[in-house]
Chain A
C-alpha cells in the first residue's frame, strides 16, 4: 500500500524566517506530486505539481518554491515567510498522465507570527 508522510506536523515561525516542509511517498514509483495550501476554513489552492524528479511546475505564485530532489520526495520552501503564508499545507499524490485520484498527506499546519 502507498503511504504519504509529511513533516513537520506543525510549525510556528516568525515573519521573515525561512521555511522548509517535506513530503515522502512510499509504495509506488514515479508518482505525480502536488503541494496545496488551505487557509483556515478555506478552499484548497494548488501551488505546485511535479511529474518527475527535478521538474516542478508552479500553479500560483505565493513567494514559495518547490523542489523534487528524489522520486519519492517533494519539498516546499521559502527564504522569507510572510504573515499570509499561515495555513495548512497539504502534499498529495496521484498516478497517470492526467489528474486522477488524488490522495492527501496529513498536512503541516503553519502559523506565522
Chain B
C-alpha cells in the first residue's frame, strides 16, 4: 500500500515568517495530493490540493509544490499568523479509493 512520510512533526515559527512542511510518497501512480488543516477538537478541513498534472499551486497565502520525479510534495505557508497554528496533514491517493495521510505536523506560530 501507499506510505506517506511527513516532516517535521512540530514546527515553531515567528509570526510573519514562512512555514514549510514536506511529504514524500511511494506509489508512482498517485496523482492527487491534498493538504488538510485540523484545529483542536475539530474535523480536518481541506485547504489546498494539487494534481499530478501540475507542479505548483497557490491560493491565499498557501503554496503547494509537487516533484513527481522525487515523489515529494510540500506546503508553504507564507506570512504566518496566529490563526495558522494547527495540525496539518498531507495525503496521497492510491488504488482502491484510498487516501493515505501523513502523521501530521503541529505548526505553532509565535506572536
Pairing of A with B: yes
Residues of A within 8 A of B (CB): 32, 34, 42-46, 49, 51, 57, 59, 90, 98-107
Chain A residues lying within 8 Å of B102, measured Cβ to Cβ, are 43
CB distance from B8 to the nearest CB of A (A): 15
Q: Which of B40-48, B53-61, B73-81 contacts A (4 or more CB under 8 A)?
A: B40-48
Task: Check A43–B104 contact: CB distance below 8 A.
Answer: yes
Contact status A104-B45, CB under 8 Å: yes
Decide: A98 near B97, CB < 8 A? Known: A90-B44, A103-B46: yes
Residue of B with least CB distance to A107 = B43
Known: A43-B103, A99-B32, A101-B49. A49 touches B43 (CB 8 A): no
> Is B43 a contact partner of A99 (Cβ separation < 8 A)?
no
Q: Are B97 and A49 in contact (CB under 8 A)?
A: yes
List the A side residues contacting B31 at CB < 8 Å.
Answer: 98
Q: Is the CB of A57 within 8 A of B44?
A: no
Would you give 17 A-B contacts (Cβ < 8 Å), ordered by A? A42-B103, A43-B101, A44-B44, A44-B89, A44-B91, A44-B101, A51-B97, A57-B97, A90-B44, A98-B32, A99-B32, A99-B93, A102-B34, A103-B46, A104-B44, A107-B42, A107-B43
Residue among B43, B49, B96, B98 with the highest chain A CB neighbour number at 10 A: B43
